[in-house]
Amino acid sequence: MRISQKINTIKEFFKQLPLKMAEHSFLSFLALFFISLIIGGIMLYKYDITTRKKEIKIEGRLIKLHKKRMENVLESIDKREKNFQEVDFKTWQNPFQKSFVFPGVSTSTQEATSTEEKTPL
């Protein structure tokens, strides 16, 4: 009986908590604000200040470069650069001019009307 009575009082407390927080909204705001400041300070200390205190150990291993892979990468960079520079010299058609013809589209009105007559609605 005693445990169930404690559980009921805890349930009642959590049921009334939003109402109490709404009644005392300024105090609730201050409490939540300070709680967030405390949590933020803990995170700042853990992830920033403690990491600055640690010494970084640098190992003396040499980096191995594969000559063949390096050449392949440089070739692909050169190809991309060449393609990028070729775009400036290319002549492009203006799709907004009346003389522009889309490929595969006929411009004659007679052909267009004949296809309209054949297609059922």
User: Burial of 19 by CB count in 10 Å (0-12 exposed, 13-18 middle, 19+ buried)?
Assistant: exposed
* Average pLDDT, 10 consecutive residues per value, the chain (121 residues): 88 92 93 96 90 76 85 95 84 73 59 54 54
Query: What is the Cα–Cα distance from 52 to 56, expressed in whole angstroms?
Result: 9
Q: Give the orientation angle of helix 2-23 with respect to helix 25-44, to 10 degrees.
A: 100
**Global confidence as pTM:** 0.38
Query: What is the Cα–Cα distance from 105 to 1, expressed in whole angstroms?
Result: 87
Q: What is the per-residue pLDDT for 104?
A: 64
- Domain boundaries in the chain? 25-53
